Structure 1
Protein backbone atom coordinates (compact mmCIF):
# COMPACT_ATOMS: atom_id res chain seq x y z
CA UNK A 1 0.00 0.00 0.00
CA UNK A 2 1.45 3.40 -0.99
CA UNK A 3 2.01 6.38 1.28
CA UNK A 4 -0.55 8.47 -0.65
CA UNK A 5 -3.31 5.96 0.18
CA UNK A 6 -2.40 5.89 3.85
CA UNK A 7 -2.26 9.70 4.15
CA UNK A 8 -5.60 10.15 2.35
CA UNK A 9 -7.47 7.68 4.52
CA UNK A 10 -5.76 8.97 7.66
CA UNK A 11 -6.94 12.50 6.77
CA UNK A 12 -10.50 11.23 6.36
CA UNK A 13 -10.25 9.37 9.66
CA UNK A 14 -9.09 12.49 11.49
CA UNK A 15 -11.29 15.15 9.84
CA UNK A 16 -14.37 13.08 8.86
CA UNK A 17 -14.75 15.29 5.77
CA UNK A 18 -12.30 16.25 3.00
CA UNK A 19 -12.73 18.31 -0.15
CA UNK A 20 -12.88 15.98 -3.13
CA UNK A 21 -10.34 18.14 -4.96
CA UNK A 22 -7.82 17.43 -2.18
CA UNK A 23 -7.95 13.69 -2.77
CA UNK A 24 -5.44 12.36 -5.34
CA UNK A 25 -6.99 11.03 -8.54
CA UNK A 26 -5.24 7.68 -8.07
CA UNK A 27 -7.09 7.21 -4.77
CA UNK A 28 -10.44 8.43 -6.12
CA UNK A 29 -10.29 5.99 -9.02
CA UNK A 30 -9.06 3.02 -6.99
CA UNK A 31 -11.26 -0.03 -6.43
CA UNK A 32 -10.89 0.36 -2.68
CA UNK A 33 -12.23 3.94 -2.66
CA UNK A 34 -15.07 3.14 -5.05
CA UNK A 35 -16.00 0.18 -2.90
CA UNK A 36 -16.26 2.39 0.19
CA UNK A 37 -18.57 4.71 -1.75
CA UNK A 38 -20.75 1.80 -2.91
CA UNK A 39 -21.00 0.56 0.67
CA UNK A 40 -21.93 4.11 1.75
CA UNK A 41 -19.12 4.13 4.30
CA UNK A 42 -17.99 7.23 2.42
CA UNK A 43 -20.36 9.65 0.68
CA UNK A 44 -19.83 12.37 -1.89
CA UNK A 45 -21.89 15.55 -1.43
CA UNK A 46 -22.09 19.06 -2.87
CA UNK A 47 -19.90 21.62 -1.13
CA UNK A 48 -19.81 25.18 -2.44
CA UNK A 49 -18.75 25.04 -6.06
CA UNK A 50 -17.33 21.57 -5.73
CA UNK A 51 -17.79 18.35 -3.78
CA UNK A 52 -16.61 16.87 -0.53
CA UNK A 53 -16.14 13.33 0.73
CA UNK A 54 -17.71 12.58 4.11
CA UNK A 55 -17.22 9.62 6.41
CA UNK A 56 -20.86 8.58 6.80
CA UNK A 57 -20.27 5.41 8.83
CA UNK A 58 -17.54 6.30 11.30
CA UNK A 59 -17.29 2.95 13.10
CA UNK A 60 -17.13 0.98 9.85
CA UNK A 61 -14.54 3.37 8.40
CA UNK A 62 -12.40 3.14 11.51
CA UNK A 63 -12.50 -0.65 11.32
CA UNK A 64 -11.65 -0.51 7.62
CA UNK A 65 -8.68 1.76 8.33
CA UNK A 66 -7.29 -0.46 11.06
CA UNK A 67 -7.78 -3.57 8.93
CA UNK A 68 -6.19 -2.03 5.82
CA UNK A 69 -3.34 -0.22 7.57
CA UNK A 70 -2.22 -2.33 10.53
CA UNK A 71 1.09 -1.51 12.12
CA UNK A 72 3.06 -2.83 9.22
CA UNK A 73 5.27 -1.72 6.37
CA UNK A 74 3.77 0.65 3.79
CA UNK A 75 5.56 1.19 0.48
CA UNK A 76 6.72 4.80 0.23
CA UNK A 77 7.99 4.80 -3.35
CA UNK A 78 8.63 2.66 -6.41
CA UNK A 79 12.15 2.05 -5.16
CA UNK A 80 10.66 0.07 -2.29
CA UNK A 81 11.62 2.39 0.56
CA UNK A 82 9.77 1.27 3.67
CA UNK A 83 8.47 3.23 6.65
CA UNK A 84 5.90 2.69 9.39
CA UNK A 85 3.17 5.33 9.54
CA UNK A 86 0.80 4.20 12.26
CA UNK A 87 1.11 5.93 15.65
CA UNK A 88 0.74 4.23 19.02
CA UNK A 89 -2.61 5.87 19.79
CA UNK A 90 -4.20 4.54 16.61
CA UNK A 91 -3.01 1.02 17.26
CA UNK A 92 -4.97 0.89 20.49
CA UNK A 93 -8.26 0.77 18.57
CA UNK A 94 -9.61 -2.79 18.39
CA UNK A 95 -10.06 -4.08 14.87
CA UNK A 96 -13.22 -5.85 13.71
CA UNK A 97 -13.60 -7.55 10.33
CA UNK A 98 -15.53 -5.78 7.57
CA UNK A 99 -17.22 -8.19 5.17
CA UNK A 100 -18.77 -7.50 1.78
CA UNK A 101 -21.79 -9.55 0.72
CA UNK A 102 -23.51 -10.02 -2.62
CA UNK A 103 -26.49 -12.27 -3.29
CA UNK A 104 -29.82 -12.70 -4.99
CA UNK A 105 -32.09 -13.78 -2.16
CA UNK A 106 -32.91 -12.80 1.42
CA UNK A 107 -30.51 -13.76 4.22
CA UNK A 108 -30.39 -13.52 7.98
CA UNK A 109 -27.50 -11.22 8.84
CA UNK A 110 -26.94 -9.91 12.37
CA UNK A 111 -30.33 -11.35 13.34
CA UNK A 112 -32.14 -9.28 10.70
CA UNK A 113 -33.67 -10.44 7.42
CA UNK A 114 -31.81 -8.60 4.67
CA UNK A 115 -33.11 -8.36 1.11
CA UNK A 116 -29.65 -8.85 -0.34
CA UNK A 117 -30.92 -9.03 -3.91
CA UNK A 118 -32.15 -5.45 -3.64
CA UNK A 119 -28.91 -4.31 -2.00
CA UNK A 120 -26.88 -6.05 -4.71
CA UNK A 121 -28.89 -4.73 -7.63
CA UNK A 122 -29.23 -1.19 -6.24
CA UNK A 123 -25.77 -0.70 -4.72
CA UNK A 124 -23.60 -3.55 -5.98
CA UNK A 125 -22.95 -5.02 -2.53
CA UNK A 126 -23.82 -4.96 1.16
CA UNK A 127 -21.16 -4.10 3.76
CA UNK A 128 -21.33 -5.08 7.42
CA UNK A 129 -19.33 -6.04 10.50
CA UNK A 130 -21.03 -9.41 10.99
CA UNK A 131 -22.20 -10.80 14.30
CA UNK A 132 -24.14 -13.69 12.79
CA UNK A 133 -24.86 -14.91 9.26
CA UNK A 134 -27.15 -17.77 8.24
CA UNK A 135 -27.34 -19.09 4.66
CA UNK A 136 -27.82 -22.38 2.82
CA UNK A 137 -24.98 -21.88 0.33
CA UNK A 138 -22.04 -19.51 0.69
CA UNK A 139 -19.00 -18.83 -1.46
CA UNK A 140 -15.88 -17.10 -0.19
CA UNK A 141 -14.21 -15.13 -3.00
CA UNK A 142 -10.60 -14.06 -2.53
CA UNK A 143 -10.27 -11.06 -4.87
CA UNK A 144 -12.55 -8.02 -5.00
CA UNK A 145 -12.97 -7.77 -8.78
CA UNK A 146 -13.90 -11.45 -9.02
CA UNK A 147 -16.27 -11.08 -6.05
CA UNK A 148 -18.13 -8.33 -7.92
CA UNK A 149 -18.73 -10.67 -10.87
CA UNK A 150 -18.77 -14.14 -9.29
CA UNK A 151 -22.40 -14.89 -10.20
CA UNK A 152 -21.44 -14.80 -13.89
CA UNK A 153 -19.53 -18.02 -13.29
CA UNK A 154 -21.24 -19.61 -10.29
CA UNK A 155 -24.87 -18.50 -10.66
CA UNK A 156 -27.24 -16.78 -8.26
CA UNK A 157 -27.67 -19.46 -5.60
CA UNK A 158 -24.72 -18.47 -3.39
CA UNK A 159 -24.25 -15.79 -0.78
CA UNK A 160 -20.92 -14.40 -2.03
CA UNK A 161 -18.54 -13.21 0.68
CA UNK A 162 -15.39 -11.11 0.47
CA UNK A 163 -13.38 -9.74 3.35
CA UNK A 164 -11.00 -6.80 3.54
CA UNK A 165 -7.63 -8.30 4.34
CA UNK A 166 -6.72 -11.82 5.36
CA UNK A 167 -9.49 -14.19 6.41
CA UNK A 168 -8.91 -15.54 9.91
CA UNK A 169 -10.70 -18.44 11.55
CA UNK A 170 -12.22 -16.24 14.24
CA UNK A 171 -13.62 -13.76 11.75
CA UNK A 172 -15.79 -16.37 9.99
CA UNK A 173 -16.80 -18.47 12.98
CA UNK A 174 -20.14 -16.65 13.24
CA UNK A 175 -21.26 -17.85 9.79
CA UNK A 176 -23.61 -20.83 9.53
CA UNK A 177 -24.09 -22.57 6.18
CA UNK A 178 -25.00 -26.00 4.78
CA UNK A 179 -22.73 -25.73 1.75
CA UNK A 180 -19.43 -23.84 1.56
CA UNK A 181 -17.49 -23.13 -1.62
CA UNK A 182 -14.10 -21.39 -1.71
CA UNK A 183 -13.08 -19.53 -4.87
CA UNK A 184 -9.48 -18.29 -4.78
CA UNK A 185 -6.43 -17.81 -6.98
CA UNK A 186 -4.80 -21.13 -7.77
CA UNK A 187 -1.53 -20.34 -6.03
CA UNK A 188 0.02 -20.92 -2.61
CA UNK A 189 -1.80 -17.94 -1.04
CA UNK A 190 -5.14 -19.11 -2.37
CA UNK A 191 -4.56 -22.63 -1.12
CA UNK A 192 -3.63 -21.29 2.30
CA UNK A 193 -6.87 -19.29 2.48
CA UNK A 194 -8.86 -22.35 1.47
CA UNK A 195 -7.26 -24.44 4.23
CA UNK A 196 -7.95 -21.74 6.86
CA UNK A 197 -11.60 -21.69 5.84
CA UNK A 198 -11.75 -25.49 5.84
CA UNK A 199 -10.57 -25.53 9.47
CA UNK A 200 -13.83 -23.76 10.35
CA UNK A 201 -16.07 -25.44 7.75
CA UNK A 202 -15.09 -29.09 7.45
CA UNK A 203 -17.37 -29.50 4.41
CA UNK A 204 -15.80 -26.60 2.49
CA UNK A 205 -14.81 -27.37 -1.09
CA UNK A 206 -12.32 -25.60 -3.32
CA UNK A 207 -13.87 -24.52 -6.61
CA UNK A 208 -11.97 -26.19 -9.43
CA UNK A 209 -13.43 -25.97 -12.96
CA UNK A 210 -13.56 -29.10 -15.08
CA UNK A 211 -11.27 -27.48 -17.66
CA UNK A 212 -8.72 -26.29 -15.09
CA UNK A 213 -5.77 -28.02 -16.82
CA UNK A 214 -6.65 -26.45 -20.16
CA UNK A 215 -7.08 -23.01 -18.59
CA UNK A 216 -3.75 -23.37 -16.80
CA UNK A 217 -1.94 -24.17 -20.06
CA UNK A 218 -3.47 -21.19 -21.88
CA UNK A 219 -3.74 -18.50 -19.21
CA UNK A 220 -1.37 -19.17 -16.30
CA UNK A 221 0.96 -16.37 -15.18
CA UNK A 222 4.45 -16.33 -13.71
CA UNK A 223 4.64 -16.72 -9.94
CA UNK A 224 6.34 -13.72 -8.30
CA UNK A 225 6.86 -12.13 -4.89
CA UNK A 226 4.91 -13.38 -1.89
CA UNK A 227 2.81 -15.65 -4.10
CA UNK A 228 5.87 -17.89 -4.39
CA UNK A 229 5.97 -18.60 -0.65
CA UNK A 230 4.33 -21.80 0.56
CA UNK A 231 2.89 -21.87 4.07
CA UNK A 232 3.40 -24.85 6.35
CA UNK A 233 -0.30 -25.68 6.07
CA UNK A 234 -0.10 -25.86 2.28
CA UNK A 235 3.20 -27.73 2.33
CA UNK A 236 1.89 -30.48 4.64
CA UNK A 237 -1.71 -30.75 3.42
CA UNK A 238 -2.98 -34.13 2.21
CA UNK A 239 -6.09 -32.65 0.56
CA UNK A 240 -6.04 -34.13 -2.95
CA UNK A 241 -6.99 -30.87 -4.67
CA UNK A 242 -4.40 -28.91 -2.70
CA UNK A 243 -1.74 -31.49 -3.54
CA UNK A 244 -2.59 -31.33 -7.25
CA UNK A 245 -2.39 -27.53 -7.45
CA UNK A 246 0.56 -27.25 -5.05
CA UNK A 247 2.70 -29.63 -7.09
CA UNK A 248 1.76 -28.03 -10.41
CA UNK A 249 2.52 -24.50 -9.18
CA UNK A 250 5.82 -25.61 -7.60
CA UNK A 251 6.84 -27.52 -10.74
CA UNK A 252 6.00 -24.79 -13.27
CA UNK A 253 6.43 -21.65 -11.12
CA UNK A 254 3.15 -20.47 -12.64
CA UNK A 255 -0.39 -20.02 -11.32
CA UNK A 256 -3.92 -19.38 -12.56
CA UNK A 257 -5.74 -16.24 -11.42
CA UNK A 258 -9.37 -16.71 -10.45
CA UNK A 259 -10.35 -13.67 -12.52
CA UNK A 260 -9.37 -15.61 -15.64
CA UNK A 261 -12.34 -17.91 -15.09
CA UNK A 262 -14.71 -14.94 -15.22
CA UNK A 263 -13.21 -13.45 -18.37
CA UNK A 264 -12.67 -16.48 -20.62
Structure 2
Protein backbone atom coordinates (compact mmCIF):
# COMPACT_ATOMS: atom_id res chain seq x y z
CA UNK A 1 0.00 0.00 0.00
CA UNK A 2 1.32 3.44 -0.94
CA UNK A 3 2.64 5.65 1.83
CA UNK A 4 0.30 8.39 0.65
CA UNK A 5 -2.65 6.04 1.20
CA UNK A 6 -1.45 5.23 4.71
CA UNK A 7 -1.21 8.94 5.53
CA UNK A 8 -4.69 9.45 4.15
CA UNK A 9 -6.05 6.64 6.34
CA UNK A 10 -4.43 8.17 9.43
CA UNK A 11 -6.23 11.43 8.63
CA UNK A 12 -9.49 9.57 8.00
CA UNK A 13 -9.32 7.81 11.38
CA UNK A 14 -8.58 11.09 13.13
CA UNK A 15 -11.24 13.15 11.35
CA UNK A 16 -13.81 10.40 10.71
CA UNK A 17 -14.51 11.68 7.22
CA UNK A 18 -12.65 13.04 4.19
CA UNK A 19 -14.00 14.72 1.08
CA UNK A 20 -13.43 12.87 -2.18
CA UNK A 21 -11.75 15.98 -3.57
CA UNK A 22 -9.04 15.63 -0.91
CA UNK A 23 -8.09 12.12 -2.01
CA UNK A 24 -4.95 12.30 -4.22
CA UNK A 25 -5.11 10.55 -7.57
CA UNK A 26 -2.34 8.19 -6.51
CA UNK A 27 -4.55 6.92 -3.64
CA UNK A 28 -7.86 6.52 -5.40
CA UNK A 29 -7.42 2.91 -6.47
CA UNK A 30 -6.35 1.92 -2.93
CA UNK A 31 -9.32 3.72 -1.38
CA UNK A 32 -11.76 2.11 -3.81
CA UNK A 33 -10.33 -1.32 -2.92
CA UNK A 34 -10.79 -0.54 0.79
CA UNK A 35 -14.36 0.55 0.08
CA UNK A 36 -15.04 -2.75 -1.71
CA UNK A 37 -13.65 -4.61 1.33
CA UNK A 38 -15.94 -2.70 3.70
CA UNK A 39 -13.18 -0.74 5.47
CA UNK A 40 -14.49 2.67 4.36
CA UNK A 41 -17.78 3.95 3.02
CA UNK A 42 -18.64 6.64 0.48
CA UNK A 43 -21.71 8.79 0.25
CA UNK A 44 -22.71 11.60 -2.07
CA UNK A 45 -22.34 15.09 -0.66
CA UNK A 46 -23.15 18.12 -2.79
CA UNK A 47 -21.38 17.88 -6.14
CA UNK A 48 -18.91 15.37 -4.80
CA UNK A 49 -18.77 12.80 -2.08
CA UNK A 50 -17.36 11.97 1.33
CA UNK A 51 -15.41 8.95 2.57
CA UNK A 52 -16.16 7.83 6.12
CA UNK A 53 -14.80 5.14 8.41
CA UNK A 54 -16.79 1.92 8.17
CA UNK A 55 -14.54 -0.50 10.10
CA UNK A 56 -12.10 1.42 12.34
CA UNK A 57 -10.46 -1.66 13.85
CA UNK A 58 -9.83 -3.18 10.43
CA UNK A 59 -8.14 0.02 9.24
CA UNK A 60 -5.96 0.21 12.35
CA UNK A 61 -4.92 -3.43 11.92
CA UNK A 62 -4.13 -2.79 8.27
CA UNK A 63 -1.93 0.18 9.15
CA UNK A 64 -0.12 -1.82 11.83
CA UNK A 65 0.68 -4.62 9.40
CA UNK A 66 1.73 -2.58 6.40
CA UNK A 67 4.41 -0.02 5.71
CA UNK A 68 7.65 0.73 7.53
CA UNK A 69 7.53 1.46 11.26
CA UNK A 70 11.23 1.65 12.15
CA UNK A 71 13.63 4.57 12.38
CA UNK A 72 14.40 6.26 9.07
CA UNK A 73 17.80 7.50 10.25
CA UNK A 74 19.48 4.18 9.47
CA UNK A 75 17.94 3.88 6.01
CA UNK A 76 19.71 4.76 2.79
CA UNK A 77 17.79 7.08 0.43
CA UNK A 78 16.94 4.15 -1.85
CA UNK A 79 15.76 1.95 1.02
CA UNK A 80 13.68 4.82 2.38
CA UNK A 81 12.04 5.21 -1.04
CA UNK A 82 11.09 1.52 -1.01
CA UNK A 83 9.74 1.84 2.53
CA UNK A 84 7.52 4.81 1.77
CA UNK A 85 6.91 4.65 -1.98
CA UNK A 86 7.62 1.01 -2.94
CA UNK A 87 9.93 2.46 -5.59
CA UNK A 88 13.71 2.71 -5.10
CA UNK A 89 13.98 5.07 -8.09
CA UNK A 90 12.23 7.78 -6.07
CA UNK A 91 15.17 7.87 -3.66
CA UNK A 92 18.04 10.18 -4.56
CA UNK A 93 21.45 8.81 -3.67
CA UNK A 94 24.03 11.58 -3.30
CA UNK A 95 27.00 9.23 -3.67
CA UNK A 96 28.89 8.87 -6.94
CA UNK A 97 30.54 5.60 -8.00
CA UNK A 98 33.36 5.80 -10.54
CA UNK A 99 35.57 3.15 -12.12
CA UNK A 100 39.24 3.93 -12.62
CA UNK A 101 42.54 2.54 -13.82
CA UNK A 102 46.05 4.02 -13.93
CA UNK A 103 49.02 3.99 -16.27
CA UNK A 104 51.62 4.82 -13.62
CA UNK A 105 51.89 5.36 -9.87
CA UNK A 106 49.06 7.68 -9.00
CA UNK A 107 48.01 8.88 -5.56
CA UNK A 108 44.55 10.14 -4.65
CA UNK A 109 43.92 11.92 -1.33
CA UNK A 110 40.74 12.39 0.66
CA UNK A 111 41.31 14.80 3.55
CA UNK A 112 44.15 13.09 5.48
CA UNK A 113 43.96 9.71 3.73
CA UNK A 114 46.06 8.80 0.68
CA UNK A 115 45.47 5.92 -1.75
CA UNK A 116 47.87 4.48 -4.31
CA UNK A 117 45.54 3.92 -7.25
CA UNK A 118 48.20 2.20 -9.35
CA UNK A 119 48.82 -0.37 -6.61
CA UNK A 120 45.11 -1.24 -6.44
CA UNK A 121 44.98 -1.65 -10.21
CA UNK A 122 48.07 -3.88 -10.14
CA UNK A 123 46.51 -6.07 -7.45
CA UNK A 124 42.89 -6.10 -8.61
CA UNK A 125 42.94 -5.16 -12.29
CA UNK A 126 40.61 -2.18 -11.81
CA UNK A 127 39.63 0.24 -9.05
CA UNK A 128 36.46 2.01 -7.99
CA UNK A 129 35.95 5.28 -6.14
CA UNK A 130 32.84 5.87 -4.04
CA UNK A 131 32.44 9.61 -3.54
CA UNK A 132 30.23 10.82 -0.70
CA UNK A 133 29.06 14.41 -0.14
CA UNK A 134 31.57 14.92 2.69
CA UNK A 135 34.54 13.64 0.64
CA UNK A 136 37.26 15.74 -0.93
CA UNK A 137 39.05 13.39 -3.30
CA UNK A 138 41.93 15.09 -5.10
CA UNK A 139 44.86 14.23 -7.33
CA UNK A 140 47.37 16.40 -9.14
CA UNK A 141 48.09 13.67 -11.69
CA UNK A 142 46.36 14.04 -15.09
CA UNK A 143 43.05 12.28 -15.71
CA UNK A 144 42.03 10.62 -18.97
CA UNK A 145 38.24 10.40 -19.43
CA UNK A 146 37.40 7.36 -21.57
CA UNK A 147 34.01 6.65 -23.10
CA UNK A 148 34.32 2.88 -23.47
CA UNK A 149 35.26 0.14 -21.03
CA UNK A 150 37.93 -1.33 -23.31
CA UNK A 151 40.25 1.62 -22.66
CA UNK A 152 39.72 1.20 -18.93
CA UNK A 153 40.14 -2.58 -18.68
CA UNK A 154 43.11 -2.66 -21.05
CA UNK A 155 44.53 0.74 -20.17
CA UNK A 156 48.11 -0.54 -20.05
CA UNK A 157 47.85 -1.72 -23.67
CA UNK A 158 46.03 1.30 -25.07
CA UNK A 159 48.21 3.89 -23.45
CA UNK A 160 51.35 2.37 -24.91
CA UNK A 161 50.09 3.99 -28.12
CA UNK A 162 49.16 7.29 -26.48
CA UNK A 163 51.39 9.86 -24.81
CA UNK A 164 49.47 9.96 -21.53
CA UNK A 165 50.30 9.00 -17.96
CA UNK A 166 47.93 9.24 -15.03
CA UNK A 167 44.47 8.10 -13.93
CA UNK A 168 41.99 6.66 -16.41
CA UNK A 169 38.33 7.35 -15.55
CA UNK A 170 35.41 5.65 -17.32
CA UNK A 171 32.32 7.81 -17.94
CA UNK A 172 30.40 5.60 -20.39
CA UNK A 173 28.23 7.03 -23.18
CA UNK A 174 26.88 10.44 -22.19
CA UNK A 175 28.86 11.92 -19.31
CA UNK A 176 26.52 12.56 -16.37
CA UNK A 177 25.87 15.96 -14.78
CA UNK A 178 26.93 14.56 -11.41
CA UNK A 179 30.27 13.42 -12.82
CA UNK A 180 30.79 16.84 -14.37
CA UNK A 181 29.94 18.54 -11.07
CA UNK A 182 32.48 16.35 -9.28
CA UNK A 183 35.20 17.01 -11.87
CA UNK A 184 34.75 20.73 -11.18
CA UNK A 185 35.78 20.15 -7.55
CA UNK A 186 39.22 18.89 -8.57
CA UNK A 187 42.07 21.35 -8.16
CA UNK A 188 45.28 21.45 -10.23
CA UNK A 189 44.22 18.34 -12.15
CA UNK A 190 44.67 18.36 -15.94
CA UNK A 191 41.80 16.53 -17.65
CA UNK A 192 41.81 15.12 -21.19
CA UNK A 193 38.79 13.49 -22.80
CA UNK A 194 39.24 10.46 -25.07
CA UNK A 195 35.82 10.14 -26.73
CA UNK A 196 34.45 8.16 -29.60
CA UNK A 197 35.11 10.31 -32.65
CA UNK A 198 31.47 10.78 -33.52
CA UNK A 199 28.49 13.03 -32.74
CA UNK A 200 28.07 11.85 -29.15
CA UNK A 201 31.80 12.17 -28.50
CA UNK A 202 31.92 15.74 -29.82
CA UNK A 203 28.81 16.73 -27.84
CA UNK A 204 30.34 15.27 -24.69
CA UNK A 205 33.52 17.24 -25.24
CA UNK A 206 31.69 20.52 -25.82
CA UNK A 207 29.32 20.07 -22.86
CA UNK A 208 32.22 19.31 -20.57
CA UNK A 209 34.32 22.14 -22.02
CA UNK A 210 31.63 24.60 -20.95
CA UNK A 211 32.16 23.53 -17.33
CA UNK A 212 35.91 22.80 -17.49
CA UNK A 213 37.50 25.50 -19.70
CA UNK A 214 40.95 23.89 -19.45
CA UNK A 215 39.69 20.54 -20.75
CA UNK A 216 41.72 18.99 -23.58
CA UNK A 217 40.55 16.50 -26.19
CA UNK A 218 42.88 13.86 -27.55
CA UNK A 219 43.25 13.97 -31.34
CA UNK A 220 45.62 11.35 -32.75
CA UNK A 221 47.95 12.64 -35.46
CA UNK A 222 46.86 9.86 -37.79
CA UNK A 223 43.12 10.28 -37.21
CA UNK A 224 42.44 10.82 -40.92
CA UNK A 225 44.15 7.52 -41.73
CA UNK A 226 42.23 5.74 -38.95
CA UNK A 227 38.95 7.10 -40.34
CA UNK A 228 39.80 5.86 -43.84
CA UNK A 229 40.82 2.42 -42.62
CA UNK A 230 38.37 1.75 -39.80
CA UNK A 231 35.66 4.43 -39.98
CA UNK A 232 32.00 3.50 -39.43
CA UNK A 233 29.42 5.52 -41.44
CA UNK A 234 26.70 4.68 -38.87
CA UNK A 235 28.52 6.92 -36.38
CA UNK A 236 27.33 9.92 -38.42
CA UNK A 237 23.80 8.79 -39.24
CA UNK A 238 22.40 8.70 -35.70
CA UNK A 239 19.65 11.07 -34.52
CA UNK A 240 22.05 12.81 -32.12
CA UNK A 241 21.48 16.57 -32.09
CA UNK A 242 24.22 18.44 -33.99
CA UNK A 243 23.25 21.97 -32.94
CA UNK A 244 25.96 22.39 -30.32
CA UNK A 245 28.59 21.01 -32.70
CA UNK A 246 27.57 23.13 -35.68
CA UNK A 247 27.33 26.35 -33.67
CA UNK A 248 30.54 25.95 -31.68
CA UNK A 249 33.54 28.24 -31.98
CA UNK A 250 35.81 25.64 -30.47
CA UNK A 251 38.56 25.11 -33.04
CA UNK A 252 39.29 21.50 -32.11
CA UNK A 253 35.64 20.46 -32.24
CA UNK A 254 35.18 22.24 -35.57
CA UNK A 255 38.30 20.57 -36.97
CA UNK A 256 37.13 17.13 -35.87
CA UNK A 257 33.61 17.63 -37.20
CA UNK A 258 34.91 18.78 -40.58
CA UNK A 259 37.19 15.74 -40.73
CA UNK A 260 34.33 13.36 -39.93
CA UNK A 261 32.12 14.97 -42.57
CA UNK A 262 34.91 14.87 -45.13
CA UNK A 263 35.29 11.11 -44.77
CA UNK A 264 31.61 10.45 -44.02
CA UNK A 265 32.43 8.22 -41.05
CA UNK A 266 33.08 8.24 -37.33
CA UNK A 267 35.56 6.17 -35.38
CA UNK A 268 35.05 3.95 -32.36
CA UNK A 269 37.43 4.88 -29.58
CA UNK A 270 38.90 1.38 -29.68
CA UNK A 271 40.50 2.28 -33.00
CA UNK A 272 43.22 4.02 -31.00
CA UNK A 273 44.73 0.56 -30.42
CA UNK A 274 45.40 0.35 -34.16
CA UNK A 275 47.65 3.36 -34.32
CA UNK A 276 50.89 1.56 -35.21
TM-score normalised by length of structure 1? 0.60
Partner SS, residue 254 of structure 1: coil
Moved more, 195-204 or 134-143: 195-204
Instruction: Determine whether 1:94 maps to 2:92.
Output: yes
Partner of 1:261: 272
Unaligned runs of 5+ in 1: 1-58, 63-86
Using the TM superposition, give the Cα deviation of residue 205 of structure 1 relative to its aligned residue in structure 2, in angstroms: 1.1
Using the TM superposition, give the Cα deviation of residue 226 of structure 1 relative to its aligned residue in structure 2, in angstroms: 7.8
Instruction: Determine whether 1:119 maps to 2:106.
Output: no
Partners of 2:109 and 2:243 in 1: CA distance: 34
Query: In structure 2, do the counterparts of structure 1 residues 101 and 249 end up closer, same or farther at CA, with 3 Å as the change threshold?
Result: same
Q: Find the partner of 1:207 among 214, 218, 222.
A: 218
Using the TM superposition, give the Cα deviation of residue 204 of structure 1 relative to its aligned residue in structure 2, in angstroms: 1.3
Give the 5 Å matches for 1:1-264: 89-95=87-93, 96-103=95-102, 104-111=104-111, 112-130=113-131, 131=135, 132-150=137-155, 151-154=159-162, 157-163=165-171, 166-167=174-175, 168=177, 169-224=180-235, 227-264=238-275
The answer to whether the Cα contact below 8 Å between 1:139 and 1:181 also exists between their aligned partners in 2 is: yes
TM-score normalised by length of structure 2? 0.58
Partners of 2:173 and 2:252 in 1: CA distance: 24
The answer to whether the Cα contact below 8 Å between 1:189 and 1:227 also exists between their aligned partners in 2 is: no
* Greater percentage in strand: 1
Partner SS, residue 202 of structure 1: coil
Answer with 1 or 2: which has the greater Rg. Answer: 2
Partner of 1:3: none
| Cα-Cα RMSD | 2.9
